[in-house]
Amino acid sequence: MIAEKLQTKTPSDQPTFEIVTSRQFQNWLTSHQASLMFTTYQLGKAFMLGTNPDQTLHVTERTFSRCMGLSKAIDNTFWMSSLFQLWRFDNSLPPDGKFKDYDKVYLPQAAYTTGDIDIHDIMVGNDGRPIFVNTLFSCLATVSESHSFKRVWQPPFISKLVPEDRCHLNGLAERDGQPAHVTMVGMSDVSDGWREHRQNGGVVMDVQTNEIVCDGLSMPHSPRWYNGKLYLLEAGTGYFGSVDLKTNKFEKIAFCPGFLRGLDFVGNYAIVAISSARKNRTFGGLALDDNLKAANTQARCGLQIINLETGAAEHWVRLSGHVDELYDVKVLPKVNKPLLIGTQKDEIRTMISIEQ
């Protein structure tokens, strides 16, 4: 049953995309006093989902070219990557302040120009600086005041820092403000070599020790440390699960009907972003195809809200129309109705705040 439907239209008055949610989705947001944000690089859109005072769903969407990775919102700040920049967004409202009925207003306050280095996952270190997955150069990096980036770490098998996307390093899990684990599709040291390992060459590596903690994975993405466990998405099969660090095995929790990228948590729930798999050499020929057939379903685009105890997808958000790929999703804790300010509308000219 439909709780909320949003359409945006093109000049020809045809819907560009549509958002539909499960019936109790907004009540779930309210019960956890949270909002969600997610990105689609396909349309270059960043979304925020919250609730209005009357408990209906509120949607904000803004345009940022090829927006992908999102960091957690810490102290009213989060980071987001775009085509050639890394943006910092800050809440401009004072504590307990309101703008109309918005309880957070996130403005793009700063941007670092990185060039098109294909930034994927992002975290914030203990020093407040972002650390991100630099997929093109097969390394973890941070921002530089004078250059495109500064290398922080690279896999030990990568012999040279070159723009060749050798292993498709994509995911980053943080623990206690430090990079903890990364995912990559294949341990290759040649240009674009990861594509030969999509079926079962994916690994999870410990950043601190350079040890492999899980292998034999199909296109792993979005590792996350939560409540003492390491979770991740096996995009090539469609399974969300966790890694047993004692046995180094991937343990399945739930099958999600789509190509999985983007994972976060609130309470006893995981929020998983799913995409409709493209018919090309990157997405085709994976076990996901057979798993979808076995479930008698097709790949979808949206969010799955999964109960960690039961593995059931108790709530969902679906996108249709001209968008069928998402990248990242994050929870905005203790936020009911957020507003995201972009750079392409006049509203940014009048959103002026004064630091006290």
Sheet holding 150-153, edge to edge: 119-124, 130-134, 139-142, 150-153
**Coil/strand/helix, residue 48:** strand
Q: Which fold has domain 15-350?
A: Neuraminidase (2.120.10)
- Ordered DSSP codes for 181-202: EEEES----STTGGGGGTTT-E
Cα separations in angstroms, 160 against 16, 151, 249: 42, 12, 30
pLDDT for res 278: 65
CA gap 323, 275 in Å, rounded = 9
Q: How far is CA 196 from the centre of its chain?
A: 25
**The residue to which tokens 């020809």 are assigned:** 12
The dihedrals phi and psi of 27, each to the nearest 5 degrees, come to -70, -35
Q: Where are the domains of the chain?
A: 15-350
- Ordered DSSP codes for 236-299: TTTEEEEEETTTTEEEEEEE-SSEEEEEEEETTEEEEEEEPPPSSTTTTTSHHHHHHHHTT---
CB contact set of 269 (below 8 Å; sequence gap of 6+): 32, 305, 306, 307, 308, 314
Output DSSP code: residue 147: S
State the maximum Cα–Cα separation within the chain, in Å, rounded to a whole number: 59
CB contact set of 8 (below 8 Å; sequence gap of 6+): 15, 16, 17, 61
pLDDT for res 356: 77
How confident is the prediction along the chain (356 residues), in pLDDT tens digits per residue?
A: 233 445 554 444 445 778 999 999 999 999 999 999 999 998 899 999 999 999 999 999 999 999 999 999 988 999 999 999 999 999 999 888 889 999 999 999 999 999 999 999 999 999 999 999 999 999 999 999 999 999 999 999 999 999 999 999 999 999 999 999 999 999 999 999 999 999 999 999 999 999 999 999 999 999 999 999 999 999 999 999 999 999 999 999 999 999 999 999 999 999 999 999 666 566 678 999 999 999 999 999 999 999 999 999 999 999 988 889 999 999 999 999 999 999 988 888 888 888 87
- Ordered DSSP codes for 77-136: EEEEE-SSEEEEEEE-SPTT--BTTBSEEEEEEEEEE--S--EEEEEE-TTS-EEEEETT
**The residue to which tokens 């995009």 are assigned:** 235
How many DSSP H helices and E strands does the chain contain? 3, 26
pLDDT for res 12: 46
